[in-house]
Chains A and B, each alone.
Chain A
């Protein structure tokens, strides 16, 4: 009853092609942005912001990156962790070499380093497809993993092989390092993620998104229409790696505050991939859903088990999480391969005609 489109006529093609054509959707989005930018910083606890919102946004950004490559273009990649690492280490080197430049600028720049490597490891996609390409992305993952440890220059020759994030400021307020407040870090991340999500949305709804999806669905037919397969795939690698690189940089600088090189290992790649699968391949909102679910699962589990009075070891929670996520993946693929995003879409469809069944 509330979600009707009746009375909302589109009189121009532009209006018809809007990303959120239904008024209620636009209102919903505005509300979400309002809550995110104003409501949460003002009212939420430090804990909530640090432990829930910040990780969620960063992981969603990485998921969007992987979604572009795997969900929209159909190139299954297990190299996400590596590219996140490239962004993180690039940012670290840049800001330690040139501390005068604002760290946020370096965050954006570090993505381009990830892009460069993304294109390099995407070059084989000219000749390699499907499973083979996935194995090739493993090459990039393991190689980058090794480089992060081996190339000591990256960590400024730190003996422990880890990096500590130095304090950096924005308008003389510390945004990174131990003195940065959660609220400030959150707002910086929120701004960056919102901007990049907007860009991603514009891309996937336009010509480039169609080219990616065409390559995913039937690359032979795509070629026929004149879509240059190789360039389209490389563009997907480039943009996807950019997003993962920025996410990695944000992760180290604004979330963890430090990084051991092992943090960008293949587990990280799988985590993001699972977020994409469960959230919805080929859906930007799905990336957010997936990040929320996978990241939130162990937290919710701990809370529920504690509430039930069951005292459980953190290691056990980890094991249970692995099991649940694994089972969830299989379940999602069986029930709704397009993930939570599709379930959300179906829910909205039902809402549109509610209280009628169809």
Chain B
């Protein structure tokens, strides 16, 4: 909005690279200057990363985390979208269920850990359950909101053309609400990624979150800790970018005016 001149295309790569380079050197030199014994420098993180890759532990950890996200998120979507559509369509149902949802929603999935362990024991299932909880509520809320924001003229047009309720839901309401539903899904995916890492730190024995905690506990390997953190960030970013690509598919794009 306030550029002196239009930035050139090359600048899209130049500035972030410059900022990253500055950050890395700042990191590197502050490690040297403070003569810290424990905090890793960029180079040691890189070496740590290579070590993880070599040991093949990394891939199974990444796989575990992603798998839990996939199952938890998938289940939350499979259950949450229909529920959200129903609640959005029948305001009476929404009115009944909403207070319960509003009370359950602010309870961090992490707070459910003891319950999850009681129900599922320590392990995969508990983590998946927590991911499910983390994703379920945002998805339902987004669906309800998406459906209620469908202009009523659309519904009336559907009736006008003689469609049954089920058909209206499927052919008019769902496509109309899709942009908002996708945004809700993307946010829920981000939350799922956060939750799985947290769950793995407390309730399971594998995965990237576990890697972070374990690297510290068994040997103060902070280089591995930071390496794992960066990986978590990059994978989370990849998930987000990938999902945004999905949003850009033509038939859905009409809903996104000026999405950043």
Please indicate whether A and B come from the same complex rather than being unrelated chains. no
Q: Chain A residues in contact with chain B, CB under 8 A? A: none
